[in-house]
Chains A and B, each alone.
Chain A
Amino acid sequence: MIEMIELVIDLLLAFCVVLTAAIVYTKDLLLAIVLAGAEGVLVATVFYLLLAPDIALVQVAAGVGISTAFFIVGLRKIGRREE
């Protein structure tokens, strides 16, 4: 069981690396925000699997829910495409 959970953590962190690379290289800022939300959900799962549920709650609520809302409000002001 422990080995399986460690395997899941490794898998999730590998996905996080791929998502981070995609966030850095994309030119579409809305896409970057969506990918950042996905990465936040995965990081929250990693916190959960490391038995820190309170940190995972903060990550889901503040790091994913509220910051995505603020980023999208800012996107309305600066435009979607990065040159």
Chain B
Amino acid sequence: MLDVILLLSLGMFIISITMSIYRIIVGPTIPDRMLALDVVSYALTVVMGIIAVISGSPYLIVISFSLALWFFIGALYVARYMEGEQIGD
């Protein structure tokens, strides 16, 4: 039962990642792509957690924390650039 649910949610997240990557490649403006990249990162975080649960190994979940924390900062860089200010002021 739990395995079926985990596999189903894994498939749904992979579909959502695929659609977001379409938005990254096609999306007309930079903020669109940045938002889509945000969605991809968080979905990948969840996918990593699901795979760690399926494979029953806690060592596989370490990276998902740093991936989730990183992306806030990635959006920050681009926002700071598009504001047109000097970075670091």
Contact = CB atoms under 8 A, between A and B. Distances in A.
Nearest to A51: B60
- Tell me whether chain B's interface is mostly helix, strand or loop, or mixed: helix
- Tell me whether chain A's interface is mostly helix, strand or loop, or mixed: helix
Contact of A34 (B10, B37, B41, B73): B37
Contacts of B30: 28, 30-31, 34
Contacts of A51: 60
A53 B74 contact: no
- The size class of the interface chain B forms with chain A is 35 or more
Nearest to A41: B41
Interface residues of A, number: 36
A30 B78 contact: yes
**Which of B7, B77, B80: most chain A CB closer than 10 A?**
B77
B66 to A, nearest CB: 6
A12 to B, nearest CB: 9
